[in-house]
Structure 1
Amino acid sequence: MHPMVKPALRRGWRDLNTVQFGMTPAHALTLGPVDTATGSFLELLNGTRGTALLREEGRRMDLPDGHVDRLVERLSRAGLLDDSRGGGEDADALRRNKDVLDRLRPDLASLSLTTSEPGDALRSLAARRALRVQVRGAGRVGAVLAPLLSGAGVGEVDVLDGGRVEPWDVAPGGHPAEAVGDRRDEAARRAVRRAAPDRPPRRGPTAPPEDGGPGHSLVILAPRDDVAVHAPDPSAAEPFLASGTPHLYAGVVEGTGVVGPLVLPGETGCAGCLHADRTDRDPAWPRLVAQWRSGRQRQVRPCDLTLATTVAGLAAAHALAFLDGRTPSSAGARWEAALPGLHWRARPVTAHPDCPCGAAAKGNREHTAEEGARRETMAEQWPSAEVRHRAGAERSAGTWRAHV
């Protein structure tokens, strides 16, 4: 191990004996008491020295025997250390590809904030290269969202849509003006290839488009149809539920941005649950949806450029959190914000007992008093810095980690 204090966290001295790592409440931690010699030794934790050499440096600085090991262990338990040579074989391969790694260094630094074990940040970044994501929809949201995922290191991002690029599809980061008239899916795939750090090989023009299935880590539904955003059709998600494919909804409807729900089949509420719940609360809901779907379509639907870009960015962030093994807040919820106030709020999408997806039955089995007691016991046994990381890893390392 070649320990280094995570460079993503700014460091400052709160007083003569207390160091603060990080600025924001979400990630800041304090370490104390720290004497002058130990404070100087922290500068040596920069990833250029192995533990043996660090022990020698500690002896030269007259630090007590075992002090270096205890300090490294303490920093590691607090999630403040990384390993400049850790992460496994895939991480080593990424290190050797310096041009690609340089493109992804901001993403690597961000991952270091949300991982605890040394080497996990680069391991997670390298793991993205083996993932396959499909984006369904290449309008102002989908055509921006797909390149974002590709640029963040996701190895294969495919886009499905019909028709050709219209002038109102053009958006910074999505379809360029010169793509007007081209097939939407092909234009979006070009944007994906341009965004990729290492330009994945281009799929042959005669290859059939792949349907979202077990081979995909995630499918993102970003329809251009605003009715499909507001009232997602449960039948459209049946193949994903049958194959156990996680899927995330995102889009813009009448000046309202929507991200979620992230559906983990059999685990969290789906489009069918959403429809059933709305019908329970409003008996007229099915009648309205039928009229919206069959009524005369506007040529150009309201989709504010900045709101669409915001939705694309937020959806990409939720997707990456899931792909990296976490459970984002869109699992079982829809995040919505409407112009002009843009106050984001979460609307729960609870598993409905009448929905055939089975999520309600599973939830009833798992949320027991025994499970709650077990988690409380675990929380009491772990230091607070470790609880946040391990609890998040526990939630996402089971069934759905296999899809990633």
Structure 2
Amino acid sequence: MHPMVKPALRRGWRDLRTVQFGMAPAHAMVLGPMDTATGDFLALLDGTRGLPLLRDEGRRRGLAEGRVDALVERLSRSGLLDDATGGGPAADALRARPAELDRLRPDAAALSLVAPGPGEAMRRLAARRSLRVQVRGAGRVGAVLASVLAGAGVGRVDVQDGGCVEPWDVAPGGLPAESVGERRQEAARRAVRSAALGRPPRRGAGGSGSVPGQDDPGLSLVILAPRDGLAVHAPDPVASQPLIDSGTPHLFAGVVEGTGVVGPLVLPGDTACAGCLDLGRADRDPTWPRLLAQWRSGGPRRVPACDLALAVTVAGLAAGHATTFFDGGLPSSTGARWEISSPGLDWHAHPVWQHPACPCGAGEKVEGEQTSDTEGPHETMVGQQPHAARLSGTWRAHV
């Protein structure tokens, strides 16, 4: 082990005996009281020394026997310590590719703030390389989202879509202007390859990136980012049924008119799906099926409303929720839809409850609980996860 204080946290002395690590309240921590010798010793925790050398340095500074080990243990338990050589074989393989690692250093620093143990951030970052993600939709949201995931270290990002690139598909970070007229799917895949860090490992090499319970052990997530706003506002349960049947996690993201949508992230059998969303709406509004039938039967608009800044915002948030899931967490879109509307641009979360009549089976686990959300314009559920207490933990260990 080569201990180092997490470099993402800036250090400042509150007084002569108290040091604060980090600026933002979400991750800042105060350590004290601390004597002068210990304070000087902290500067040596930079990842260049192993424990034997650190013990020697501690003795030279007059620290009591065992003080170095106790300090390292205390910092480690506090979440302030990382290991410059930790993370296992996959992390070592990433360190052996310095050009790729240099591009990911900001991501590694950010992961270290939420990964508790020394070396855990590098382990999670390296595990992304063995994942496979499929993005369905290569418009302003989908193409940008796919490129962001590839640039964040996801090993295989496949994009599916039909037709040819239109001028209004072009977006910074997504489809370039020179791709207009090309096949949309091929142009998006080329953009992903341009954003990717390098060639992914061969199938089955470098650890497992699958989710327990999936039929395809190589597919970690499907992101549905349709260019048609209706398909994200009211996703068709029939279209996502194969994902439910195969146990494949999937996330919805897109723009409808002037509203961006991220979620729900569906964990089949555990959280609400598109069918639950549809049935819940019909419970609350008897005219919903009639409206939906009219919207789906009408001809598609040639140029859908999709503000560029809003589309990029949605793509970025969806990518963040996806990487949180890849890294072993449950983002707030699990069992909820995050929406942001012009012109106020305030994010609101609407819970999507498991419906007992939905064949996905999630509603059977919450019998007797509320099964429909209150999706009115002023009803929000910020930072809550209605499903969290009911998950078995299967979905948490997929890296």
TM-score by length of 2: 0.89
Q: Partners of 2:276 and 2:369 in 1: how far apart?
A: 18
Structure 2: which 5+ residue stretches go unaligned? 203-214, 371-387
2:22 aligned partner? 22
Aligned to 1:170: 170
**Partner AA of 1:399 in structure 2:** T
Instruction: Indicate conservation of the 8 Å contact 1:159/1:185, yes or no.
Output: yes
Q: Which amino acid in structure 1 is aligned with residue 254 of structure 2?
A: G
Return the match for 1:288 from 278, 287, 291: 291
Q: Is 1:400 paired with 2:395? A: yes
CA 30–394 in structure 1, closer or farther in 2 if over 3 Å, else same: farther
Alignment of 1:19-98 (within 5 A): 19-98=19-98
Equivalent position to 1:271, from 269, 274, 284: 274
2:224 corresponding residue in structure 1:
221
Q: Say whether the 8 Å CA contact 1:326–1:396 is kept in structure 2.
A: no
Q: Aligned equivalents of 1:87 and 1:61: distance in 2?
A: 30
Counterpart of 1:231, as a letter, is A
Paired position in structure 1 for 2:205: none
Q: 1:313 aligns with which of 313, 316, 322?
A: 316
Q: CA deviation at 1:35?
A: 1.1
Post-superposition offset of 1:41: 0.3
1:326 corresponds to 2:299: no
Q: Stretches of 4+ moved more than 6 A in 1?
A: 393-397
CA contact (8 A) 2:244 2:268 kept: yes
- How far apart are the structure 2 equivalents of 1:34 and 1:336? 47
Which SS does the other structure have where 2:130 is aligned? Answer: coil
Q: Residue 136 of structure 2 aligns to which amino acid in structure 1?
A: R
Per-residue CA deviation, residues 319-340 of structure 1 (Å, 9 max, x unaligned), is 0000110000000000001011
Q: Which residue of 1 aligns with 2:195?
A: 195
Q: Larger helix proportion, structure 1 or 2? A: 1
Distance 1:366 1:52 in 2: 56
Please provide the CA RMSD for this pair.
Answer: 2.0
Which 5+ residue runs of structure 1 have no aligned equivalent? Answer: 203-211, 368-392
- CA deviation string 1:98-124 (max 9, x = no partner): 111011111111111110100001101
Query: How many angstroms does 1:52 deviate by?
Result: 1.1
User: What count of residue pairs does the alignment treat as equivalent?
Assistant: 370
Q: Give, in angstroms, the shift of residue 399 of structure 1.
A: 1.5
TM-score (norm 1): 0.88
> Structure 1 residues 394 and 10, CA, compared in 2 at 3 Å: closer, same or farther?
farther
| In 1: Cα distance, 2:264 partner to 2:109 partner | 28
CA distance, structure 1, for counterparts of residue 123 and residue 390 of structure 2: 19
Q: Cα offset for 1:64?
A: 1.2
Q: Confirm or deny that 1:251 pairs with 2:254.
A: yes
1:149 alignment counterpart: 149
Deviation (angstroms), 1:396: 8.4
Give the aligned partner of residue 264 of structure 2: 261
Residue 328 of structure 1 aligns to a residue in which SS?
Answer: coil
Seq. identity, %: 72
CA distance in 1, matches of 2:356, 2:392: 26
Match of residue 380 from structure 2: none
Aligned pairs for 1:110-189 (under 5 A) are 110-189=110-189
